[in-house]
Amino acid sequence: MSSEEKQPLLEIKDLYKEYDKKMVLNDIQLQINKGEVIVVLGPSGCGKSTLLRCLNGLEPIQGGEIKLRGKSLSGKDVDWQKIRQHIGMVFQNYDLFPNMTVIENILLGPIKVQKRDKNQVLMQAKELLDRVGLLDRIDAYPRQLSGGQKQRIAIVRALCMNPEIMLFDEVTASLDPEMVREVLEVILGLAKQGMTMIIVTHEMAFAQAVADRIVFLDAGNICEIAEPQEFFTDPKTERAKQFLNIFQY
Partner 1 sequence: MQSSVISMVFTSQNLMRLMGGLLVTARIAFISIAIGSIAGIGFGLLMTSKSKWIKGICRLYLEIFRIIPILVWLYIVYFGITSALNIHLEGELVAMIVFSLWGTAEMGDIVRGALESLPRHQIESGRALGLGFWKLYRYVLIPQAVRRMLPGAINLATRMVKTTSLVVLIGVVEVVKVGQQIIEVSRFQVQTASLWIYGLLFILYFIICYPLSVLSKRLEAKWSN
Given the rule CB under 8 A, which residues bind partner 1? 56, 58, 80-82, 84-85, 88-89, 91, 93, 95-100, 108-109, 112-114, 154, 157-158, 161
CB of 204 to partner 1, least distance (A): 25
Residue 22 phi/psi, 5-degree rounding, is -100, 125
Q: Which is nearer to partner 1, 152 or 239 (CB)?
A: 152
For residue 41, the one-letter residue type is L
Total residues found in the chain within this entry? 249
Pairing assessment for the beta strands 165-169 and 196-200 based on DSSP bridges: parallel
CB of 51 to partner 1, least distance (A): 15
> What residues contact 193, with CB distance under 8 A and at least 6 apart?
none
For residue 136, the one-letter residue type is D
The residue among 204, 248, 206, 240 whose CA lies nearest residue 222 is 240
DSSP class of residue 112 equals I
Instruction: Please tell me the distance from the alpha carbon of residue 130 to that of residue 158, in angstroms, as a whole number.
Output: 15
CB of 58 to partner 1, least distance (A): 6
The residue among 43, 15, 23, 37 whose CA lies nearest residue 189 is 37
Q: Which is nearer to partner 1, 159 or 240 (CB)?
A: 159
Instruction: Please tell me the distance from the alpha carbon of residue 238 to that of residue 24, in angstroms, as a whole number.
Output: 21
Q: Which is nearer to partner 1, 42 or 88 (CB)?
A: 88
Q: Which is nearer to partner 1, 87 or 211 (CB)?
A: 87
Q: Which is nearer to partner 1, 26 or 85 (CB)?
A: 85
The residue among 24, 55, 17 whose CA lies nearest residue 168 is 55
CB of 212 to partner 1, least distance (A): 24
CB of 19 to partner 1, least distance (A): 15
CB of 246 to partner 1, least distance (A): 27
CB of 84 to partner 1, least distance (A): 4
Q: Which is nearer to partner 1, 106 or 222 (CB)?
A: 106
Q: Which is nearer to partner 1, 152 or 213 (CB)?
A: 152
For residue 226, the one-letter residue type is A
> What residues contact 82, with CB distance under 8 A and at least 6 apart?
none
